[in-house]
Every structure is written in structure tokens, then in C-alpha cells.
């Protein structure tokens, strides 16, 4: 009778240990999945940041190009205006005399 009782206790203890180990394993699996999800999210955010950074660089370059073109056009317009008699300043005092 005692050996059965001990055997039963051992079996129950083994079953409880297995259940505990299964719970720990399940918890570890959940943690691993969460870590994997977070790592993937970080990688996605890094790629998004790289894309945005590249876009900012492209916009800065385009902006500099447009500024340069605007300066050239502004100088061209200024030269045209100075060469045209329509835009010349008139001296009203000398015309009155």
C-alpha cells in the first residue's frame, strides 16, 4: 500500500512539474513572440526613417537648385529692366526746366 501511495505522490509531483514546465514554456514562447514583434517593428521604423531621410536630402537638393535658378532669373529680369527705357527712372526736375 505504501509503495502505491508513494508512487501516486511521485506521479502527481511529476504531473505538476510537467504542468509547471509547460506553463513556463508557454510564457517563454509568448515573450519570444513579443520580442520578435518588437524587433520587426523597430526594423520597419528604421527603414521608414531611412526613406524619410533620403526624401529630406532630395528635397534639400531640389530646393538649392530652385534657389539658384531663381537667382539667375532674378538677375536676368533685373538686367532686362535696366536695359529697357520703360523701366528707367525719370528725372522730373530736369524735364520741368
Range of the domain at 64: 1-80
Q: Is the pLDDT of residue 39 over 90?
A: yes
The number of folded domains in the chain is 1
DSSP run (H or E) holding 82: helix 2-83
Domain-embedded: residue 86: no
Where does the pLDDT of residue 97 fall: very low under 50, low under 70, confident under 90, or very high at 90 and above? very low
- Cα 64 to Cα 57: distance, rounded to the nearest angstrom: 11
**pLDDT one-digit tens code per residue, 62-77:** 999 999 999 999 999 9
Domain-embedded: residue 52: yes
DSSP conformation letters of 34-56: HHHHHHHHHHHHHHHHHHHHHHH
Domain-embedded: residue 91: no
Amino acid at each position: 500500500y505504501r509503495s502505491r501511495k508513494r508512487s501516486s505522490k511521485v506521479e502527481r509531483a511529476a504531473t505538476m512539474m510537467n504542468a509547471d514546465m509547460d506553463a513556463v514554456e508557454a510564457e517563454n514562447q509568448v515573450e519570444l513572440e513579443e520580442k520578435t514583434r518588437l524587433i520587426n517593428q523597430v526594423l520597419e521604423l528604421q527603414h521608414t526613417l531611412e526613406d524619410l531621410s533620403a526624401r529630406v536630402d532630395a528635397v534639400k537638393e531640389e530646393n538649392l537648385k530652385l534657389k539658384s535658378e531663381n537667382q539667375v532669373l532674378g538677375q536676368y529680369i533685373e538686367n532686362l529692366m535696366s536695359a529697357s527705357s520703360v523701366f528707367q527712372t525719370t528725372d522730373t526736375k530736369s524735364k520741368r526746366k
